[in-house]
Amino acid sequence: MIIGLVEHEQGKLNERTAEMLTLGRKLAAQMGAPLAAVVMGGAAPEIAERLAAFGVSTVYAVKHERLGSYAPEAWARCVEQIMAAAKPAAVMAAGSERGNEAMAYLGALTGLPMAANCTEVQPGESFLVTRQCWGGTLWEEARIHGSVKLLTVAPLAVAAEEAPAPAALSVSEFAPTLTDKDLRVRVVDRIETASGRVTLAEARVVVSGGRGAGSAEGFGPLEELAGLLGAAVGCSRAVTSAGWRPHADQIGQTGTRISPEIYIACGVSGATQHIVGCKGSKHILAINTDPEAPIMNAADYAIVGDMHVVVPALCAEIRKRRGVSD
């Protein structure tokens, strides 16, 4: 048996979980093993149906009065107890924040190794995996040893694909035994950030500035262009390190990963740290004085020139076409 740890929000299967289950189903088929899923807080019927569509034949619906809020160690403890009964060959989760965290706890609780952010898996006595390092700019081939193989699946590395035919599904409730210690680290509060603005992660258009912006004030024209396009404004790590913009605006390996229709990168050199964060963009337009800058290798379109000249010209052109005078 292969077990997948499921994440869902308000009755909707998480996209990253769907990717993980797709890889899990292929692995299970290779091993001639069934695919099972662990769902925290009980499985809503609509989740169960989606899981069957992805080839899951057994659902462990975990029910416990104290699992109302996310508690990573408790999640791992539940999976550990299911493992003891079901004896799976492997346990998988999405390489999401929660997935990596819960699987790391499971590794710690069981003393088993855990491989994070895998993109390919070959079963065997040990599993041979390919996993993402350096934010995905380097791959590592590694062997996972141990009696049960623990791994997470890198986000967006596997296309989510339903099974040719849905699996016949059996749902069984599982009541874990949890101690205070398992629940001592849990979400005690949730704070919503009220914001009318489009977020970087979800924007259809992102305009960003790098070191070439020169100063905090240098973002003025970028804000203006973003305003005209309904875009979010981002920046490179050089900019947040200089204190010109808040870290929340940073696009990159240690910032936000974006996936807009078009990303307009102005005065951004294109260090690996940055490219990792913007490579999910459908199109990239780079505006840079240096035609040899690394960003040019990632870009589909380029304007060679000073962003302080080009960006105002773009704003003027957009206004002109909309029939608004400057």
Partner 1 sequence: MMNVLVCIKRVPATGSRITLTPDEQEIDARYLNFTFSPHEECAVEEAVRLIEAHGGTSVVLTLGPDAATDILVDAMTLGMERAVLLETESGDWDPGATAAAIVEAVRAQQAAGTAFDLILMGNEAADTGDYQVGIRVAHVLGLPCVTGVKELKIDNGNAVARREVKGGWEVFEAPLPAVVTVKEGINLPRYPSLRGRLTAKKKPIERMKPQRAHGGLEKVRFKVPPEQTSVAEVLGKGAEAAPLAVDLLQRLGVL
Question: Should residue 316 be labelled a site residue for partner 1 when binding is judged by CB under 8 A?
Answer: yes
Give long-range contacts, CB 8 A cutoff, 24+ apart: 164-168: 166/49, 166/52, 166/53, 166/55, 167/35, 167/52, 167/55, 167/56, 167/57, 168/52, 168/57
Question: Over the range 252-266, which residues count as b (16 or more CB within 10 Å of their CB) and which as e?
Answer: bbebbbbbbebbbbb
Segment (H or E) for 121: strand 114-122
Out of 11, 49, 179, 304, point to the residue binding partner 1 (CB under 8 A): 304
CB of 135 to partner 1, least distance (A): 7
Binds partner 1 by CB under 8 A, chosen from 15, 162, 272, 280 = 272
Out of 46, 49, 173, 261, which residue is the one contacting partner 1 (CB under 8 A)?
261
Query: Which residues 60-99 are close enough to bind partner 1 by CB under 8 A?
Result: 70, 72, 97
- Site for partner 1 (CB under 8 A): how many residues? 92
Site string for partner 1, 201-240 (x = CB under 8 A): x--xx-----------------------x-------x--x
Member of 13, 226, 258, 298 binding partner 1 (CB under 8 A): 298
Map residues 126-155 to x or -, x wherever contact with partner 1 holds by CB under 8 A.
x-x-x-xxxxxxxxxxxxxxx-----x---
Report the DSSP beta bridge partners of residue 2.
35, 90
Tell me the two tokens of residue 274: 């940055």
Measure CA 287 to chain center.
28
Find the binder of partner 1 among 58, 208, 236, 250 (CB under 8 A).
250
Which residues in the 92-131 window bind partner 1 by CB under 8 A?
Answer: 97, 100-101, 103-105, 107-109, 112-117, 126, 128, 130
Q: Which of 175, 187, 216, 324 binds partner 1 (CB under 8 A)?
A: 187
Structure-token pair, residue 121: 């898996």
Q: Is 159 exposed, middle or buried (0-12, 13-18, 19+ CB in 10 A)?
A: exposed
Q: Residue 54 CB, nearest distance to partner 1 (Å)? A: 22
Contacting partner 1 within 35-54 (CB under 8 A):
none
Report, in Å, the least distance between residue 282 CB and partner 1: 8
Instruction: List Cβ neighbours of 47 (8 Å cut-off, separation of 6 or more).
Output: 6, 8, 11, 12, 13, 39
CA neighbor of 89 nearest in space, from 126, 45, 56, 59: 126
